[in-house]
Amino acid sequence: MKRKLTIISLSLVALAAFWFLGVDASWFVESCPDCQYGRDIYQIRVFTIPIYQRSQDYHSILEKITDDLGIPCSHPNLVRWHKHRYWGLLICACPCINGIYRLSGGDDWYDDKARAIVRELAKTDPSLRDEFAKQVLKNHDWKYLKAFVQKVQALRDRKSP
């Protein structure tokens, strides 16, 4: 009887150790510093091998503008980091990075009218694509981007009925 109890106890300890050391839920964050694109990836893993994955993409206004200009970002500098790991799907352990990491000022204004304006600007000024790619995507000139966005917003508001 004592031997059975010892075997059962050791089995439960081994099962718990396997569960908390071998099974985890991980949350990864990917972001592109060039176009501000982001993706959250949630995985359930067994010995670091994903058996389930769910992801959510976050498209920035900058990414939408580059698509409309005909210079989509291929995310060459995409960065991935591990935000959370839950051992045994329960215990938040290293890494456990809390806090805000992605904010948006709202992109409701960038509708079909604004997209049409950006496409029209690209058609009327062919050098705009190269200049925008150099200034914003390569050199990260956020003042240039802000001025461009304000120009598009002004044109959009002028065309609104």
Under 8 Å between Cβ of 62 and 107: no
- Please list, in sequence order, all residues whose beta carbon lies within 8 angstroms of the beta carbon of residue 79, skipping any fewer than 6 positions away: 30, 31, 32, 33
Beta bridge partners of 58: 38
Task: Tell me whether residue 109 is in a domain.
Answer: yes
Residue 159: the pLDDT is 67
- Please list, in sequence order, all residues whose beta carbon lies within 8 angstroms of the beta carbon of residue 141, skipping any fewer than 6 positions away: 135
Task: Tell me whether residue 3 is in a domain.
Answer: no
Looking at this protein, which amino acid is placed at residue 108? D
Task: Tell me whether residue 6 is in a domain.
Answer: no
- Structurally, how many domains does the chain consist of? 1
The Cα–Cα gap between 148 and 117 comes to: 11
CA 60 to chain centre: 10
Tens of each residue's pLDDT in the chain, 161 residues: 888 889 888 999 999 888 988 999 999 999 999 999 999 999 999 999 999 999 999 999 999 999 999 999 999 999 999 999 999 999 988 888 888 888 777 778 899 999 999 999 999 998 999 999 999 999 999 999 999 999 999 998 886 55
Task: Tell me whether residue 104 is in a domain.
Answer: yes
Query: In which domain, by residue range, is 31 found?
Result: 12-159
Task: Tell me whether residue 5 is in a domain.
Answer: no
Residue 125: the pLDDT is 92
Task: Tell me whether residue 7 is in a domain.
Answer: no
pLDDT in tens, 130-156: 999 999 999 999 999 999 999 999 998
The Cα–Cα gap between 19 and 119 comes to: 54
Beginning with the edge strand found earlier in the chain, give each strand of the sheet holding 23-31 in spatial order: 49-58, 38-46, 23-31, 79-87, 91-96
Residue 107: the pLDDT is 78
Residue 160: the pLDDT is 58
Q: Which of 74, 76, 94, 75 is nearest to 84 (CA)?
A: 94
Task: Tell me whether residue 140 is in a domain.
Answer: yes
Task: Tell me whether residue 113 is in a domain.
Answer: yes
Residue 144: the pLDDT is 95
Residue 161: the pLDDT is 58
pTM for the structure as a whole: 0.81
